[in-house]
């Protein structure tokens, strides 16, 4: 392979931010924003886990191509929840600026049993965003409680925002 083409590939795929939990957190599931503990990779400063808003991925101006106002990204999140009670539907959603992305970034699990355990992935598909847009992972459920899992070896609750454009 020609060296500069390999360099292009590496640069394209290297632009992402990945955050994880490293503690278990007891939560009320309904409309819960996940706050992240660890910036596994965040070269462009999308998330600040030590700041006032550790639940936010913020699109940096440096991601916007010259002469344009938007950039194409994709978001993936995996959520590991235990002790989910009472029974009901469970959903994992990517929100942009506080609203769900219509038709995307949403998965829904049904009939999780009392005391149940679930690992669920939400994938946005390619999405156009602007500098300053705020991306968050929001859980939905029928007012249930549960425990977000982060303490196991290698967090099983994580989220990633990757630049595509």
Best CA proximity match to 79, nearest among 26, 49, 118, 40:
118
Please identify, using beta-carbon distances, which residue of 69 and 111 lies nearer to other proteins: 111
Q: Hey, which residues between 24 and 63 contact other proteins (CB under 8 A)?
A: 40-41
CB of 108 to other proteins, least distance (A): 10
Residue 147 belongs to what H/E stretch? strand 145-148
Query: Which window, 23-31, 43-51, 65-73, 74-82, contacts other proteins (CB under 8 A)?
Result: 74-82
Contact pick of 70, 123, 151, 165 for other proteins (by CB under 8 A):
123
Residue 35 dihedral angles phi and psi, to the nearest 5°: -95, 135
Contact pick of 27, 29, 34, 80 for other proteins (by CB under 8 A):
80
Question: Does residue 121 interact with other proteins by CB under 8 A?
Answer: yes
CA torsion 30→130→126→91, rounded to 10°? 0
Contact pick of 14, 31, 61, 114 for other proteins (by CB under 8 A):
14
Cβ-Cβ contacts under 8 Å for 61 (sequence gap 6 or more): 131, 132
Q: From the CA atom positions of the chain, what is the Rg in Å? A: 17
Q: Hey, which residues between 86 and 105 contact other proteins (CB under 8 A)?
A: 90
CB of 22 to other proteins, least distance (A): 10
CB of 111 to other proteins, least distance (A): 6
CB atoms within 10 A of CB 143: 10
Question: Does residue 3 interact with other proteins by CB under 8 A?
Answer: no
CB atoms within 10 A of CB 32: 20
């Amino acid at each position: 392979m020609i060296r500069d083409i390999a360099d292009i590939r590496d640069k394209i795929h290297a632009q992402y931010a990945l955050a994880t939990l490293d503690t278990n957190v007891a939560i009320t599931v309904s409309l819960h924003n996940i706050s992240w503990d660890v910036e596994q990779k965040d070269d462009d400063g999308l998330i600040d886990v030590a700041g006032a808003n550790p639940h936010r991925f913020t699109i940096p101006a440096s991601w916007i191509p010259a002469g344009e106002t938007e950039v194409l990204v994709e978001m993936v999140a995996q959520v590991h929840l235990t002790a989910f009670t009472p029974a009901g539907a469970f959903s994992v959603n990517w929100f942009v600026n506080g609203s769900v992305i219509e038709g995307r970034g949403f998965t829904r699990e049904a009939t999780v049993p009392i005391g149940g355990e679930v690992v669920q992935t939400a994938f946005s598909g390619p999405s156009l965003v602007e500098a300053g847009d705020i991306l968050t992972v929001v859980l939905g459920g029928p007012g249930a409680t549960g425990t977000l899992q982060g303490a196991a070896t290698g967090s099983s609750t994580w989220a990633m925002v990757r630049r595509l454009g």
